[in-house]
Structure 1
Amino acid sequence: MGKKNLLQNPCAIDGMAGWEVTWNGGDGWKAEHSALGCRPFKEANPEAKDDACWTTSYGLCMKKQTIDLEFAGIVGDYLDDQRPEIRVTEWCGSRYDAGSEYHLLVRLLNSDLETVDKREVTKTLPADGQWHKVEKAFIIYGPGVRFIEYSHGGKDTCYWAGHFGVKITCSSVTVATGSGQDSSSSS
């Protein structure tokens, strides 16, 4: 049995639903049904169900989701005692005609929404129209994790009006639960 993705609307199929926009620079965020000016996403990831993605503009665009792990069915005692692997993945890409900056920040938070641990990725992508998989894992982290804040975005490097910035799709947050169970089955 596969692990359950704890993010809502992880591939832009439902536009911005489930996401809180925290920066909307330039011409803001845009959801695209297919990645304009970029290699089709299904060519980079044949397992993808769709070619939808988000794209950014010339000013910084960031959005986030905060996952309540208990609401997702992952008990605090399990997190504290077992410290299961928490894995985040997503794909980012650039257009053929414009480079882009990409940012990912994932924070593990306690019940007071204070940071227990974090992973951060910042990349400058060339104007090559290619997709890049980003993966990070939390393996050793402190006790008290109750929430995960997932924030991502970027901008183009050309400062062009429109939506020539980084493209993002197939975002994922999973929590290992052992015995092949998905992350919502732990007790």
Structure 2
Amino acid sequence: MSAAEWKKSCEAEWSLQGAPMPAGLDWKSVYEAKPFGRNLLKNPSPQGLCKDTPPPERATSDAPSRGPPRFESDGDFSGWTTNTEVLPYDTSGIPKGAVVCQLPRYSWFSLEQVLDLKAEGLWEELMDEFQPEIFVQDWYEESRLHKFIYQLHVKLLDADKTVISEHSVNPTEDRSVHSHEWKEVSHLFSGYGPGVRFVHFLHRVKNMFMFEFFPTSFTGSSVIVRPTKTSA
């Protein structure tokens, strides 16, 4: 097809009414990239879990492990940059003079990706003038390991990686109830202003080691650009 025909195919595929469609763009590459409606994150469920299936039940063994402490979750984390931060022991609630045999040791396990929107098929004029919606979603396991077990930080960055817009979530868990279900976290970026070229997605889950390893599971992370816009 000609360049004009590829451009018409893009217009028909995504109904981009009012969006800038510069004639000099490689519309064949844009069409084949399918930048709208798909998850731009790579490997969104590295633990092999699905939000449509309840999180796995974990039974403690009769004989506690005698091996070294463990702080990182299992999974195939290709596509992600990961980091483990082992937290100091929390002794604030221990009465003076009490003898403690074992305390839980917590750690934050972080995963992040930086998405290059131009490389994903989105063009500068679209991001600057039309500013399509950017929808972010994540799911984490409800657990009673701690009152803080999950964090999400998403930033929209310009070409120099300066923050244009950002959203953070740090929920407090109600440890008095426990349904052992997935909990959804989501946010819609709109009307964020011109210049967005990258999306930085980072989430953290808290794990615990006390004789055995108790992780917090997560799944279904997504960043999706929609071919629509809303007011700020």
2:78 to 10, 13, 17: 17
Q: Partner residue of 1:6?
A: 40
| Structure 2 CA distance for aligned equivalents of residues 119 and 168 of structure 1 | 19
1:105 alignment counterpart? 153
Identity %: 30
Q: Counterpart of 1:66 in structure 2: which amino acid?
A: V
Unaligned runs of 5+ in 2: 1-12, 14-35, 49-74, 88-104
Structure 2 residue 197 is matched with structure 1 residue 146: yes
SS of 1:125's partner is coil
Q: Counterparts of 1:16 and 1:119 in 2: how far apart (Å)?
A: 24
Q: Is the 8 A contact 1:89 1:173 kept in 2?
A: yes
Count of equivalent residues: 146
Cα distance, 1:161 vs structure 2:
6.0
More helix by share: 2
Q: What residue in structure 2 maps to residue 88 of structure 1?
A: 136
1:164 has 2:214 as partner:
yes
Which of 152, 159, 176 in structure 1 is aligned with 2:226?
A: 176
> Match for residue 182 of structure 2?
131
How large is the Cα RMSD of the aligned pairs?
A: 2.4
CA deviations on 1:116-158 (whole Å, 9 max, x unpaired) are 00010001334522211111010121210000000001214x6
- The answer to whether the Cα contact below 8 Å between 2:150 and 2:171 also exists between their aligned partners in 1 is yes
Residue in structure 2 matched with residue 120 of structure 1 by the alignment: 168
Distance 1:120 1:132 in 2: 16
Deviation, structure 1 residue 60 = 1.6
Amino acid at match of 1:67: L
Deviations 1:3-49 (A, max 9, x none): 1000000011371010001x31349xxxxxxxxxxxxxxxxxxxxxx
Q: Does the 8 A contact of 1:20 with 1:63 survive in 2?
A: yes
| Larger Rg over CA atoms | 2
The 5 A counterparts of 1:49-60 are 58-60=106-108
With the length of structure 2 as denominator, give the TM-score of the two structures: 0.57
The one-letter code matched in structure 1 to 2:198 is: F
Q: Cα distance, 1:177 vs. partner?
A: 1.5
Instruction: State the AA in 2 paired with 1:172.
Output: S
